[in-house]
Structure 1
Amino acid sequence: MTSEKEMIVVSETHWDREWYLPFQEYRAKLVILVDKLLKILEENPKFTNFTFDGQTVVLEDYLEVKPESEPLLRKYITEKRISVGPWYVLPDEFLVSGEALVRNLMLGHEIGRSFGRVMRAGYIPDPFGHIAQLPQILKGFNINSVLFMRGMDDSFENLGLNLEFIWDSPGKVTSVLAIFLKYGYGSVAKLSSHKAGGIYKAALRSIKRVQRKMLNRSASTVLVLNNGSDHDEVQAFLPEVIENWNSSPELGEFKLVQNDFEYYIEKLRSQDLQLKRYEGEFRGARYHYLLSGVFSARMWIKQLNAECQMLLENWAEPTAAFSWLLGENYPRDYLWAGWKWLLRNHPHDSICGCSIDEVHRDMRTRFSWAKQIADEITKESMYAIYNRIQLKPSPKRAIPFLVFNSLPWDRTDIAHLEVSVPGKSHDDLNFQFELIDSSNNVVPYQLKRILDLPRLTTSNSSCYRLSFLAKNIPACGFEVFRLIPKQVDLPTEQNIKSNQLENEFYLITVHEDGTFSITDKELQKTYQKVGIIEDCGDWGDEYDFSPPVNPDADLKITNENVKAEIAMYESGPAKKTIRIKYNL
C-alpha cells in the first residue's frame, strides 16, 4: 500500500452526440476535434492521454466519414494514448431496461477491444441519477469502480461520505469503489492558455483552487481532475501546465500527471483506505441538478423505446435462439444492428426528450429501424419453427395457427390475430369461423373490423382483428389453435353498462366528466377522481416544469365538470374498452 500524493489530470471531452444541435452538426465538430487530437498526439509525445468520455460510439461516428484515420486511432488506443469505453453510449439509466444497459456495455467492450483496449473504469458522469443495481452490472464486466456527478442527496453529509466511498448493490450482493465528482465532470476544464514569463499562472491557480476543495472531502491523497467538459476540444498545452506545476515546489507536494480514469482507480486502490459505505440509488439533487422532469418529457419517446426493447429482448432474441436450436443460422450481426439503432437513442439528452425538435425527429427513424429489424427476425424465426412442427391432421378447410410464448414461464394472456376474408361487408356476418384449441375445446373470441387495411391483403376482402384469451401457453413454447369454417353466433353480452369495466379484480366506473373511479376488490378500496386532465401555463423548458410567475392570471383547462362523450368501444370475452371523448 502507498500513500503518495498525486493528482491525475484527465484530458477529455463530454461528448453528447445530439442535444441543442442535431447529430450531423455535432459530428462535424467531432471530426474537427479528432483531427486536431491525432495531430497533437503525432507531434507531441508528452501529450500522453486523451479520454473519450467513456464511450466508443464516437469511433464509429468519426470513422464513417474519415475511414483513412482508422490505423492511427488503433495505434493510439493500443498504446493507451487514447482511452475509450467501457460504454457504447452514456445512457440514462432509469429510462432504459437493465438488458439495454448490459448490451450497451457489451457493445462498448467489443468495439474497444477491436481497437486494442477498453478503459476499465465505470465512468458515467452526466446521466440524471443512477440505479441501485449499477454496481452489479459493472461488476459483471469486471469493472470495480464508478465515477459519477449527478444524483447525490443529503446522504453525503448525513453519512459523512468522502468523495471516495464503497457503493453496495441491493442486499450487498456486490460493491464498487465510487467516486463522487462533486466539483463536476469538468473540474479543471477550459484552463487559461495565458502565459506570463513562460508560466501558465492562471491555469495553475485554477488547479490549486480545485485541489483545496477536494482535499476537504477526500479520503485519499490521490485526486482526479477533469480537463474537459461539454464538446471541449483538446488543450494541447496541458503537458506544459503539468511541467510548470511539477517544477514549482511552492504549489505543494502533490505531483501532477496526465492519464485516464483507469490509472486513477488503480492508484486509488493501491492506498490503504478505510472508506464508508452507501447502499441504494442516487436520485438526489443537492449538489447538481437532477432534471427529473425529463422522465415525462415527450412520452412518445419512452413508449417507442419500451416497444423496441420488448421486441428485441422478448421476441427477436428468444425466437432466434429457438430456431437456432432447430438448425437455423443465428442472426447475431442482424440482432446487433437492431440493438445499435436502439442504443443510439439511449444517451441521456436523446431518450430524456430534452433536445431540439430536429434531434427527436431523427430518433423516430432509429426507433423505426430497430423495430423493423426485430420484427423481421421474429417473423423469420417463427416461420422456421412453424415449418418444423408436425401438426396433427386438421378438419377439412381448417386453418391452423400458433400462439408463441417467448417467456420462461407459463402464460395466460390476450392473443390477437389479424385475418382477411373474402367479400366486403359492413358488419361481421361474413366472418363465420369457430375457434378451437389443440384439445378441440371451443375458444370464445371477439372481432373488431380493421378500417386501416394492412399492407398485404387480398382485393375485395374484409379485415378483422380476432382477440381471445390464450390460456396456459407453456414456457418458451406454443399452443396450436385452429379456425374452422362454420356458421356461429358471436357471443353477445347482456346488460352491458357503457360506463363500466369489471373483472374479478377491479370495477372501473367512468363518470360524466370522463374521470373514473377504480375499486380494488381484493383491498376493498376505491380510488376516486382518477383521470383528471389539466393543461396550464409552463414557463419552464423540456427539463423542468415551472409555473407562471402570476398563477392567478394563468388559464387552466381541465375536464372537471365537462360532459364527456362516453361509449363502449369494444366488448367481448377477451377484453373491453371504453372510449372517452372531450371537447375542451
Structure 2
Amino acid sequence: MKTVHLIQHTHWDREWYFTENDSRTVLYYFMADVIARLEADESLGPLVLDGQTVVLEDYFQVAPDNRERVLKLITAGRLLIGPWYTQTDFLVVGAESITRNLLLGMADCQTLGSRMPVGYVPDSFGQSAQLPMFLAQFAIDRAVIWRGWCEHDVASSEFIWRSADGSSVTTAVLPWGYGCAKWLPTNAEEAWRVLPGILQKQAKFSASAQILLPNGNDQSPFEYGVPAMLDTLNEQQAEYRFVRSDFSRYFQALEGETLAEFQGELLSPKYMRIHRGIFSTRMDIKQANARLENFVSQQLEPLLSVVWRLGLPYPQTAVENIWREAMKSHAHDSIGGCNADRVNAMVKARLTSGQESASQLFELNMKMLAEGIDARQQGKKIIIFNSLPYERDGRVALTLYVPGTDFCIVDASGQPCRWQIVHEEQQDMSVIVQELSNSTTTVWYRKCTLLLEAKALPACGYQTLYLQEDCAAGFVATSGEISALENGWLRLTLDEGQISLLDKRSGKRWEHILQLVDGGDAGDNYNYSPPEEDWRVTSDGALTSATWQRGTLADTLTLNWSIAAPVDQLARQQHLCNAQLNVSMTLALDHDRPLLDVQVSLDNTLRDHRLQVEIPTDIGEMFHFADQPFGLIRRENRPQTLAVWQQEQWTEAPASLWPMQSLVMMHNQSHGMCVVTEGLREYEIPADKPATLAITLLRSVGWLGQANMPWRPGRASGMVLPSPDSQLTGPFHCHFALLPLHQGPDATFWRDVENWRTPALGWLDSGWSRFKTNPHGKSFPSSYSLLSWDTPLHFSTLKKAQNGDALILRGWNPGTSLLSSAAPVAAGDITPVTLAETSLCALQKTVSACAPVSWRIQPAKEGKSDA
C-alpha cells in the first residue's frame, strides 16, 4: 500500500496579469474564509501559506484586527509559514537578495510563532545549483521544488541534492506541479474517478511508497472538504492510504530510504516550462534590480557600517524596508517581466523607489561624514569611498559643477591628482540648487563628468581630496591623435568597420569582435522565439563615424552605426529595411588595466526583435563558465538534450540560452575571453557559432503570452494579453567589459573582475544640498579604514547584523578551486557565522568553490555606538 500525503496549500502570486492591489483584496476574503474554517473545525489543517511570509504582511495591512487569530493558528501548527519572505527567483536575482530573503523570512517567522523547516520552491523558473547551500546555511535540510527537474538529471523524484561546497538537502520534486490535485470533488465516488490517474503520475518516478498530493492552486479557495472525502476513500479501497500531512511529516516518512545523489542546476523543461526568455525580458527591469542590489549591498551598507563605527546612527529599518520592497519585485513573474504592462510598471517603480531611497541615504551620510572631517587643504572636500576590504588604486567616476575654466584636485598633502573629462556641458544651477531657483539671473556652471585617479584607497574606508576652483590642474593632460587603443596588455584596432583585439601576453588576436546582430523575435514575455524564417541584420557596413581620443587615464574609441533594419516582424518576413537602428558604442582602454570597457547606447525604434553583441572566443572546448549566486558554474555549450526534446515532446526546447549574474567566459590553458556585465542577465551560445558568446542587450516583444511557438509548442503561457510596453521603444543604455584571459583565470584576473564590478565611489561636498541637517558635532579623520581582509575571495557585503550591535562581513569564492583565506583584521571580536548569522564552531582556513564566508565583528565595548 502506498501512503499519500495530502498537502493542502495555496500558491499566492502577489502580481502577474493582475496587480498587487487585486491580490491583496482577494487575500482579505481568502484568509477570512481560512481562519473561520480552521477555527470551526479543529480536524482541518495544516495549510501551507506558500512558503512566504509576505502573504501575511499583505494580509495584516488590510485586516490588522485578525493578527492574534492568525498567530494562534500558526503557533498551533495549523498554518505553516516561511521560510521565505517572498517566493524569489534564483537565476536572475542576486546572492545577497536571496540571503536577505531567507534572513527576513526567518525574522518574520520568529515574530509570528514558527517556521516551516522546508525549502519550499513551488514555482521558480528553474532551480539554481546553489539552493542546497542557501538552505543549509539557514539550518534547512529539506527542499520541495517543481520546475526544472526531469529524469535526464536524476532518475527519481526524491534525491539528495548537493551544492559544490558540499551542502546537501533531501529533495522532493512535485513532478506535475503544485496544482496537480487542485479542485478535487468532495464526493468520494466522483473523486475516485480522477485520483488514480493523478496518483499514478505522482508516483511514476518515486523512489519510495510515499506520495505527495498537493491540493491547492493560484489564489484558489481553501478546499476544506477534501480531507473528509479522503477519509471516506480510506474506508472504500486498499491501494492507497491517505493521510492529512505536511512536508515535514512526508520527509520523516522518507527516512531510511536509499536515495540517489545529484549535483548541479535543474533547468530541464521536459515536464514543465522554465521560460528561458525571462532572462532578457524587460531588460530595463533587470538592470534596475541589479543596480539596486549592488548599490545597497556593496556601497550603501558598507558606508553606513563605516559611519556607524565613527558614531553616526545606522538606519537599519530604513535599509530593511528597501530590501523588502525590492523582494516584492523578485518573484518569478515579477522579476521575469512576464506580467501585464501595468504590473511591470509597478515592479519597476518599486525598484526605482528603492534606488531613490538608497541614494538619498548615501548622499546624507556622505554629507554628514564630510561635515565632521577637518580639512587638510583649501577647497571643497571630495570623499572617495572604497567598500572593498583591501587597499587599492582606483578610477573614480565623479561629477563636478565648477564656475570657471580651471580647477585642481589635490590630496591631503597638497599633491595634484590626475583626471580626465569624459563629458562636459553647461548647467543652469537653479535646477540643482533650490536657493537659486527664485533668482532672476541664471547662474551657469560647467558640469564636468570626470574619471579621477585615486591612489592607495583605504580598505573598507575613505580618503579626502579637495577641489580647488580657479587653479591650474597641476599636471599635463594627455591628448592627441591615435589610431589604436593600446596599453601594456591589449591593442584594439579598427579595419574597414570591424574591430580586432590583440592580447600582447599570449599573442592571441580576436577578429571581428563586438559585432551587433539584430534578429526577429516571434516570442512573448516568457520566451524568446526565433521566427520560422529569421532574417538578421548586423552592424557590418553600417558604421557612420569613428572618433578616437587620447586621454590622461584612458583612451577611447566612439563608434556610431546607423543600421538599416525591419521595423517589425512583418517587415522582417518581407526582408524590408524600413527603419534605422542607431547605436553608439564607446570603447575605453584604461592605461593601467587589461580590460576593455564598453558602453552601448541606442534609440530602439524597432519592434519584435532581439539585439545581441557577438564576441568570438576561438575556444574549441565543449563547455564554458558563468557566474551564479555566490559562485561559478560550468555548462555545456550545446545541451545534449537538444537531440531528444522534440522526440520526447518536451514542453519547451532546452535551448542554449543561459542566465548569469554578471559574467560568462570561455577559456583554455593558454587564452580565453570573459564578458562582465552590469545588469545584463542573458547570454547564448549560438548553434552555428559554438565558440561565440552572444550577449543579449535588448529583447522587444508585444505579448504577455502566445501559443504554438517553435521552441515552445502548444498552449500560451500566462495570458494572451497585449504587452506593448515590453517592446522597450526609446533610449536604452548598457555597460559591460571584455577581459581577455592569459593562462586561465588566475588571482590577478579575478581581482580585475572585482574592481570593475565594485568601483570606488566619489562624492563632492559642494556646499549645496537639497536637504539640510543640523550639525552633529562629531569629528572624523580625513582618511579612515574600518577593517582589512587580504583575501582572494570576492566582497559581498558589510552590514549591520540582523540582531545586535555588530557588523557582518561576507565574501565568496568566485572560481572553481579551493582558496585559502585568513580572518579579517578589525577592532573587536571576530567570529565566523552562517548566512543566517548564527555562530560556527570552527574557523575555516580554506573556502570551497561556490561557498560564501561570513564574519561577525563585535565592536569592543568602548567602540560601541547606539543605532
TM-score of the two chains, using structure 2 as the length reference: 0.60
Q: Name whichever structure is richer in helix by fraction.
A: 1
Q: Matches of 1:211 and 1:297 in 2, distance apart?
A: 36
Equivalent position of 2:397 in the other structure: 416
Q: Matches of 1:78 and 1:510 in 2, distance apart?
A: 69
How far apart are 1:267 and its partner, in Å?
3.3
User: Using a 3 Å threshold, how does the CA distance of structure 1 residues 280 and 453 change in structure 2: closer, same or farther?
Assistant: farther
Equivalent position of 1:371 in the other structure: 355
Equivalent position of 1:231 in the other structure: 219
How far apart are 1:321 and its partner, in Å?
1.4
SS of 1:170's partner is coil
Q: Is 1:434 aligned to residue 423 of structure 2?
A: no
What pairs with 1:98-177 in structure 2 (closer than 5 Å)? 98-153=95-150, 155-156=152-153, 159=154, 161-172=155-166, 174-177=167-170
Q: Matches of 2:391 and 2:283 in 1, distance apart?
A: 31
How far apart are 1:511 and its partner, in Å?
5.4
What pairs with 1:45-444 in structure 2 (closer than 5 Å)? 45-153=42-150, 155-156=152-153, 159=154, 161-172=155-166, 174-193=167-186, 195=187, 200-248=188-236, 250-252=237-239, 254-268=240-254, 271-392=255-376, 394=377, 397-422=378-403, 430-444=404-418
Equivalent position of 1:427 in the other structure: none
Is this contact kept in 2: 1:445–1:468, CA < 8 A?
yes
The residue type paired with residue 123 of structure 1 is Y
The number of equivalent residue pairs is: 552
Equivalent position of 2:546 in the other structure: 566
How far apart are 1:346 and its partner, in Å?
0.6
Is this contact kept in 2: 1:9–1:256, CA < 8 A?
yes
Q: Name whichever structure is richer in strand by fraction.
A: 2
Q: Is 1:495 aligned to residue 495 of structure 2?
A: no
How far apart are 1:183 and its partner, in Å?
2.2
Is this contact kept in 2: 1:167–1:178, CA < 8 A?
yes
How far apart are 1:571 and its partner, in Å?
4.4
**Cα deviation 1:524-574 (Å, max 9, x = unaligned):** 32333333334443322111122333x1xx654433322323334894424
How far apart are 1:209 and its partner, in Å?
2.5
User: Using a 3 Å threshold, how does the CA distance of structure 1 residues 524 and 114 change in structure 2: closer, same or farther?
Assistant: same
Q: Is 1:456 aligned to residue 432 of structure 2?
A: yes
SS of 1:400's partner is strand
Is this contact kept in 1: 2:543–2:561, CA < 8 A?
no
User: Using a 3 Å threshold, how does the CA distance of structure 1 residues 289 and 317 change in structure 2: closer, same or farther?
Assistant: same
Is this contact kept in 2: 1:509–1:517, CA < 8 A?
yes
Is this contact kept in 1: 2:381–2:467, CA < 8 A?
yes
Q: Is 1:509 aligned to residue 493 of structure 2?
A: yes
Is this contact kept in 2: 1:9–1:257, CA < 8 A?
yes
User: Using a 3 Å threshold, how does the CA distance of structure 1 residues 154 and 438 change in structure 2: closer, same or farther?
Assistant: farther
The residue type paired with residue 529 of structure 2 is S
The residue type paired with residue 580 of structure 1 is N
The residue type paired with residue 337 of structure 1 is N
More displaced 10-residue stretch of structure 1: 554-563 or 477-486? 554-563
The residue type paired with residue 277 of structure 1 is E
Is this contact kept in 2: 1:294–1:352, CA < 8 A?
yes
1:537 corresponds to which of 510, 520, 524:
520
Unaligned runs of 5+ in 2: 437-442, 564-579, 581-867
Equivalent position of 1:479 in the other structure: 463
**Cα deviation 1:495-524 (Å, max 9, x = unaligned):** 233xx43333333334555x5333333343
SS of 1:533's partner is strand
How far apart are 1:137 and its partner, in Å?
1.0
User: Using a 3 Å threshold, how does the CA distance of structure 1 residues 418 and 14 change in structure 2: closer, same or farther?
Assistant: same
**Cα deviation 1:241-283 (Å, max 9, x = unaligned):** 22112222x242x432223323322333xx3122111112222
How far apart are 1:129 and its partner, in Å?
1.6
Is this contact kept in 2: 1:85–1:108, CA < 8 A?
yes
Q: Matches of 1:106 and 1:431 in 2, distance apart?
A: 52
Q: Matches of 1:346 and 1:570 in 2, distance apart?
A: 43
The residue type paired with residue 292 of structure 2 is C
Is this contact kept in 2: 1:446–1:490, CA < 8 A?
no
How far apart are 1:13 and its partner, in Å?
1.8
How far apart are 1:327 and its partner, in Å?
2.1
User: Using a 3 Å threshold, how does the CA distance of structure 1 residues 37 and 510 change in structure 2: closer, same or farther?
Assistant: farther
More displaced 10-residue stretch of structure 1: 54-63 or 30-39? 30-39
Query: Percent identity over the alignment?
Result: 30
How far apart are 1:350 and its partner, in Å?
0.9
The residue type paired with residue 553 of structure 2 is P
User: Using a 3 Å threshold, how does the CA distance of structure 1 residues 107 and 6 change in structure 2: closer, same or farther?
Assistant: same
How far apart are 1:171 and its partner, in Å?
4.0
More displaced 10-residue stretch of structure 1: 303-312 or 469-478? 469-478
Q: Is 1:580 aligned to residue 560 of structure 2?
A: yes
How far apart are 1:78 and its partner, in Å?
1.6
Equivalent position of 2:679 in the other structure: none
Equivalent position of 1:445 in the other structure: 419
More displaced 10-residue stretch of structure 1: 563-572 or 478-487? 563-572
How far apart are 1:490 and its partner, in Å?
6.1
Equivalent position of 1:426 in the other structure: none
TM-score of the two chains, using structure 1 as the length reference: 0.88
Q: Matches of 1:569 and 1:245 in 2, distance apart?
A: 80
SS of 1:31's partner is helix
The residue type paired with residue 233 of structure 2 is W
The residue type paired with residue 374 of structure 1 is A
Unaligned runs of 5+ in 1: 423-429
More displaced 10-residue stretch of structure 1: 481-490 or 407-416? 481-490
Is this contact kept in 2: 1:326–1:385, CA < 8 A?
no
Q: Is 1:8 aligned to residue 1 of structure 2?
A: no
The residue type paired with residue 137 of structure 1 is F
Q: Matches of 1:575 and 1:142 in 2, distance apart?
A: 51
Q: Matches of 2:410 and 2:148 in 1, distance apart?
A: 54
Equivalent position of 2:807 in the other structure: none
More displaced 10-residue stretch of structure 1: 281-290 or 118-127? 281-290
Is this contact kept in 2: 1:88–1:104, CA < 8 A?
yes
SS of 1:527's partner is strand
Q: Once superposed, what is the RMSD of the aligned Cα atoms? A: 2.5
